[in-house]
Amino acid sequence: MPGQKSRRIQNMHIGGHIILIVVATIILIPLYYVFINAFKTDAAINLHPMAFSLDYFTTANMANVWRLLAFPKALLNSVILVVISCSILIVSGSMAGFAIAIVNNRLLKTLYIILILLISVPFQVIMISIIQILSATKLMNNYFGTSFVFAAVSMPFTVFLYTGFMRAVPRELCEAAIVDGCGMGQTLLRIYLPLMKIVTSTILILRGTGIWNDLLIPLVTFTNERYDPLVRRLYSFASLRFNRWDLLFAGTVLCSIPILLLFLFLQRVFIRGLLVGSVKG
């Protein structure tokens, strides 16, 4: 019996490794395809899309993309949008999560349920209304206007994560802080915010990546190309009739590097944050 149990466990481990290898292969093949074609001419991409040879290798694509995208300006636009949007999310989301978890009255419970339901609402449903509001408030072609839209779309998920984390923290910490003379604001700043580094890092990666890669929101909130982020400018290389695959692949690699570096920098706290966000509330 012990031998059979050991063999069963070993077979389960082998099966798990096989599944992981298959999943990793499915993920890596598109990455390999994009990366090798970023350094080939358009003709070589059409003739030999999966092959890599030094005969096809060229760095001209990167130089052309850097120039055509006006990469430094577009990068700055993307960074500004991510920083403003994530700042709004972290400040507002942490305060909302704190109120829902600590105050916990009927009104806040109802608002929390509504926010959770809003996670499933796609942006396309509210897109026309958002454009009308931005136009009426003169926030079209404005970093803050677009950032507010990003923050509004991502707020339900952010509040969900923060609330789940707050509910996992013992209430005795809040009660002890109040006994020591702290108000609600001081309790949030001095007790809870230092404990929220993991969740905050998780939100920065999940929402920051979504904002960085989003095409639709900048497409409808910016009509002036001076505000275009990287992904929208990259969209100019693709159309229904004509595609510049060499520039598209090279631009994809360039646009992915900053957010990839952010993920590598925060990957440890990201994994821990996913576990924290899944605790029972």
Q: Which pLDDT value is given to residue 77?
A: 93
Which residue type does 229 have? P
Contact predicate 150/85, CB 8 Å = yes
Q: What is the pLDDT of residues 56-104, one digit of tens each?
A: 888 888 888 899 888 999 999 999 999 999 999 999 998 888 888 887 7
pLDDT at position 277 is 44
Distance CA 99, CA 96 (A): 5
**What phi and psi values does residue 116 have, to the nearest 5 degrees?**
-65, -40
Model confidence pLDDT, tens digit, residues 170-195: 777 777 777 777 777 777 777 787 77
pLDDT of amino acid 242? 65
User: Is residue 147's pLDDT more than 90?
Assistant: yes
Phi, psi at residue 40, to the nearest 5°? -130, 155
When pLDDT is cut at 50, 70 and 90, the band that residue 121 belongs to is confident
**What's the chain's average pLDDT?**
83
pTM for this predicted structure: 0.82
> How many CB atoms within 10 Å of residue 77?
22
- Residue 153 token pair: 């779309």
Any idea where the domains of the chain sit in the sequence?
2-37, 70-277
- Region 216-239: mean pLDDT is 87
Query: Does the domain formed by 70-277 have CATH 1.10.3720.10?
Result: yes
Smallest CA-to-CA distance from 218 within 264, 261, 255 is with 255
Tens of pLDDT, residues 228-249? 999 888 888 776 566 778 888 8
